[in-house]
Amino acid sequence: MKGFWKLAWVEIKIYLRQPEAAFFTLVFPMLLLFLFGSIYGNKPNAFFGGRGMVDVSTPAYLAMIIGSTGLLSMAISVSSYREKGVLRRYRATPLRPAAMLASQIIVHFLMTLFGGVLLIASARLVYGLRFEGRPLDVLFGFTLSALSFFAAGFLLASVARTARAANILGMVLYFPNLFLSGATIPKQTFPQAVKAVSKFMPLTHVVNLLQGLWIGDPLGKHVLEVAVLAGLLLIGTAISAKAFRWE
């Protein structure tokens, strides 16, 4: 593990120096929160099962953050490191390849967590966000979802030949997931046809899991979501392990 923590720390600093990278993680979810929060407020509403707009949206926005760090940030940073020769330079040192990958996972996880905490704190302070779940269950669901989407991001970086291709692939997957999963627009407003498509979006399962755990569902009620996300994690990791190239 020599050099691992220092690498993770430097990577965090670098991440924060790139304002464009932080936009989808930190800024965009907050913009949505304040936009919809200012329109609808957070009054309990029968439409949301007796909860407020912000109560239902906040766990969905967590899913949005996870989708963006996984499909965009992870895919782009790993593939551009490869394209520029950063991975090559690291490979000529005694730094273990696993440590290099683990540092990317840690950095992206911390950034996802930071984005999530910032969002929850703002929703709580400004709109009196209500929480009825078990914190550890939510943390589990959040971590599983994040790791699954990181694996998906790695998968994109592995199959894409260039950083540009990884970028485009990431966008092509991210935006349908973003709009059709309920991560931005509440699912309750979807017509039947869109609801049908929505089931095939991996991010839908993150939204369902986090929204469920947020209002106190037991984990047992979300076996499907957990299974889908664990499957994505396993498949993403297995294919990346085979297809990933250092240069």
What residue ranges bind other proteins (CB under 8 A)? 2-3, 6-7, 10-11, 13-14, 17-18, 81, 84-86, 88-89, 91-96
Contact 133, 34 (CB under 8 A): no
H or E stretch at 79? helix 75-84
Q: How many other CB atoms are found less than 10 A from the CB of residue 12?
A: 17
Count Cβ atoms within 10 A of the Cβ of residue 40 and give its class: 0-12 exposed, 13-18 middle, 19 or more buried.
Answer: middle
CB of 8 to other proteins, least distance (A): 10
CB of 84 to other proteins, least distance (A): 4
CB of 11 to other proteins, least distance (A): 8
Q: Would you state the structure tokens that stand for residue 41, as one six-digit string?
A: 């407020």
What CA–CA distance (Å, rounded) separates 158 from 181? 25
Q: Would you state the structure tokens that stand for residue 22, as one six-digit string?
A: 């932080």
Measured from the CB atom, the residue of 103 and 211 that comes closer to other proteins is 103
Phi, psi of 206 (to 5 degrees): -70, -45
Measured from the CB atom, the residue of 2 and 161 that comes closer to other proteins is 2
Measured from the CB atom, the residue of 84 and 161 that comes closer to other proteins is 84
Measured from the CB atom, the residue of 86 and 239 that comes closer to other proteins is 86
What CA–CA distance (Å, rounded) separates 122 from 104? 27
Measured from the CB atom, the residue of 94 and 135 that comes closer to other proteins is 94
Measured from the CB atom, the residue of 18 and 188 that comes closer to other proteins is 18
Q: How many other CB atoms are found less than 10 A from the CB of residue 242?
A: 8
CB of 192 to other proteins, least distance (A): 47
Contact 116, 65 (CB under 8 A): yes
Contact 150, 109 (CB under 8 A): yes
Q: What's the Cα-to-Cα distance from 244 to each of 107, 121, 154, 240, rounded to whole Å?
A: 20, 38, 8, 5
Q: Would you state the structure tokens that stand for residue 188, as one six-digit string?
A: 């309750």
CB of 97 to other proteins, least distance (A): 10
CB of 12 to other proteins, least distance (A): 11
Measured from the CB atom, the residue of 17 and 242 that comes closer to other proteins is 17
CB of 77 to other proteins, least distance (A): 9
